[in-house]
Structure 1
Amino acid sequence: MEFADKQYFLLLLLLIPYVLWYFLYRKRDEPTLRMGDTYAYENAPKSWRVRLVNAPMLLRCVVFTLIVFILARPQTHNSWGHKQVEGIDIMLAMDVSTSMLAEDLKPNRIEAAKDVAAEFISGRPNDNIGLTIFAGEAFTQCPMTTDHASLLNLLQSVRTDIAARGLIQDGTALGMGLANAVSRLKDSKAKSKVVILLTDGSNNMGDISPLTAAQIAKSLGIRVYTIGVGTNKVAPYPVQVAGTVQYVNMPVEIDTKTLSDISAITDGNFYRATNNRQLKQIYHDIDQLEKTKMNVKKYSRYYEAYQPFAIAAVFFLLLEILLRNTVLRRLP
């Protein structure tokens, strides 16, 4: 247990003058009775009331001490911890353009990709993993972290309607998505640094070409595994028509050559996933990546722990009042 405001313990010094006043000066004000001889009382046994005559004063001191402890804010002793684990640094770069709503994978491409990515993340608890999403633009959804609970929450919140609602431009900026993921890995000290780039289209947006981003990744020692997701030829795509959903056959245009070139430049691999089973197998294959040692800093929350002190203070205060006004009451 730790105390957040230790300076309040200085208030305990006030007990010293109080105790001195009680034993040295307060008794002077108490009523007295003159007697000619006290011989008869010298060997008389002391009653329990006499022995407890100073109990109220001691209880007041205890109550004051407990109040000071409460003011000092006692907290449970949780702190930063360091440990060394096996892992690699991974950035997931996921296409969230509106074409990812196609339902050639079940229930659709984006949900299938999220489900398999979530399983991949859960199977690598010691890895530093982050998430980049891109359509016509790219941004970091989650920086690299070992807090996979937060990462999975952010992954599940990924939606394709951010492009449909105009929050970002629609399209496929492969180069921007890869460059964003690479920028998160450039300062990594891990021996193995990996980007897993998943898309269902070809580059048609962005200021950075995919091959330029691949060259940057290669210069930083980052391997890129590219995944082209979607069936061959055409895929069913949902369209809202008069409040109902109708399906049209949308042509599948995956730039397999560019994706293959990206992986070749960075010593990675290119994969095609035309169904959920293949997509799951691809992530399983990538899961066999080399591991390297890394330091992890883990944070534990602090919890206020004043309640036991408050309960004890109330109990001793009520006990002092009860004793002072009943069995230890002084007359006059």
Structure 2
Amino acid sequence: MSLTGFRSPWWFLLLVVVAAVVAGYVLAVRARRKRTMRFSNLALLERVAPRAEGWTRHVPAALLVVSLLLLTFALAGPTAEQKVPRNRATVMLVIDVSLSMEATDVQPSRLKAAQDAARQFAKGLTPGVNLGLISFAGTATVLVAPTTEREGVVRAIDNLKLAQSTATGEGIFAALQSIESFSAVVGGAEGPPPARIVLMTDGKQTVPQDEYAPRGAFTAAGVAKQKDIPVTAISFGTSHGTVEIEGKEVPVEVDDASMKEIARLSGGDFYKAATAEELKQVYASLGEQIGYETKDVDASKPWVVLATLVLISAAGTSLLVGQRLP
């Protein structure tokens, strides 16, 4: 555990008191020694005075000082970074269902592998995150509005169907609209929850041809940037994928460059997955990023426990060494 700061550092002023206790103990030891040296009959003193315990007689006092130091540290409110589940966030999962997803360069097919990975992502996402699902080909369809219920999302993922064309921009715009509608309902005094779009596609946009067109993918990514909704773009597939359309073998190479540009324009991240296992790893990483956040939490309890144990040790050693409490 690495400490990140203190919530009440003014408690460290108690160190002055601790220093005073140490100084008082040293002065008391010296005064006792002087009184002993003044005793006129040293032979009688050796017979009636208890035998000196040496350095061990200082152990109880040392433990008491250590416990005070630990208690002061605890009162100062040390904090540490800790991953905690998010209790409010919105994620729209946008999945390409164009005909190119039928390619088998990723076994058993791009679509089946994408469904499997998306299903695991939905099931593993922390309960406080609202998850929605959009599929897109020539048009985009909101299959599930943002919700914390995962069963509907999983069923919708299982029932994804292929269609013609790839309108990536429409998928992003549909996600933005769904997020805005949901945020308007749940915003409250704290404002809308943070949102993100997770876009998974395997090919280049075909509708419209120009990605900078009003409904193009790059235009949509720019709008997402303005609304502070980053797009995490996942490019899925290989350069040698093919599908059969009307009896012809058609190559369906992935378009990494466009996906990288969508991520850049929106302020999001880009991931490349050429296998089903790589896609699962990408989704697992996203689940950690989206589902959890790092916060500074109170870390004083271990110090209080340690201070208490040392204080008990001080009392125990004092009774053992000097037959009295310090």
Pairwise TM-score range, normalised by the shorter structure: 0.5 to 0.7
Considering only aligned residues, what root-mean-square deviation do their CA atoms show, in Å? Answer: 2.3
Alignment partner, residue 161 of structure 2: 159
Instruction: Tell me the distance in 2 between the aligned counterparts of 1:277 and 1:85.
Output: 26
One-letter amino acid matched to 2:177: S
Instruction: Tell me the distance in 2 between the aligned counterparts of 1:251 and 1:128.
Output: 37
Matched residue SS, 1:222? coil
Alignment pair present for 1:199 and 2:201: yes
Give the 3 Å change call, closer, same or farther, for CA 86–100 of structure 1 in structure 2. same
Structure 1: where are the runs of 5+ without partners?
1-83, 164-169, 242-247, 294-332
2:134 paired residue among 113, 129, 132:
132
Post-superposition CA distance 1:48-86 (Å, at most 9, x none)? xxxxxxxxxxxxxxxxxxxxxxxxxxxxxxxxxxxx972
Alignment partner, residue 270 of structure 2: 270
Alignment partner, residue 241 of structure 2: 235
Alignment partner, residue 107 of structure 1: 108
Alignment partner, residue 81 of structure 1: none
Equivalent pair of 2:244/2:250 in contact (CA under 8 Å): no
Alignment pair present for 1:209 and 2:216: yes
Instruction: Tell me the distance in 1 between the aligned counterparts of 2:195 and 2:167.
Output: 22
Instruction: Tell me the distance in 2 between the aligned counterparts of 1:240 and 1:203.
Output: 20
Alignment partner, residue 119 of structure 2: 118
Give the 3 Å change call, closer, same or farther, for CA 260–154 of structure 1 in structure 2. same
Post-superposition CA distance 1:31-55 (Å, at most 9, x none)? xxxxxxxxxxxxxxxxxxxxxxxxx
Give the 3 Å change call, closer, same or farther, for CA 177–292 of structure 1 in structure 2. same
Alignment partner, residue 258 of structure 2: 258
Equivalent pair of 2:242/2:252 in contact (CA under 8 Å): no
Equivalent pair of 2:110/2:237 in contact (CA under 8 Å): yes
Alignment partner, residue 173 of structure 2: 179
> Displacement of 1:253 after TM fit?
3.0
Equivalent pair of 1:88/1:292 in contact (CA under 8 Å): no
Matched residue SS, 1:116? helix
One-letter amino acid matched to 1:256: D
Identity of aligned residues (%): 31
Equivalent pair of 1:142/1:154 in contact (CA under 8 Å): yes
Instruction: Tell me the distance in 2 between the aligned counterparts of 1:227 and 1:218.
Output: 17
Post-superposition CA distance 1:89-137 (Å, at most 9, x none)? 1001111111111011121111111110010010113310111111111
Instruction: Tell me the distance in 2 between the aligned counterparts of 1:96 and 1:102.
Output: 11
Post-superposition CA distance 1:174-202 (Å, at most 9, x none)? 11111111111124244421111111111
Give the 3 Å change call, closer, same or farther, for CA 184–95 of structure 1 in structure 2. same
Q: Say which structure is richer in helix.
A: 2
Post-superposition CA distance 1:119-166 (Å, at most 9, x none)? 001011331011111111111111111111112112211111xx2xxx
Instruction: Tell me the distance in 1 between the aligned counterparts of 2:140 and 2:157.
Output: 15
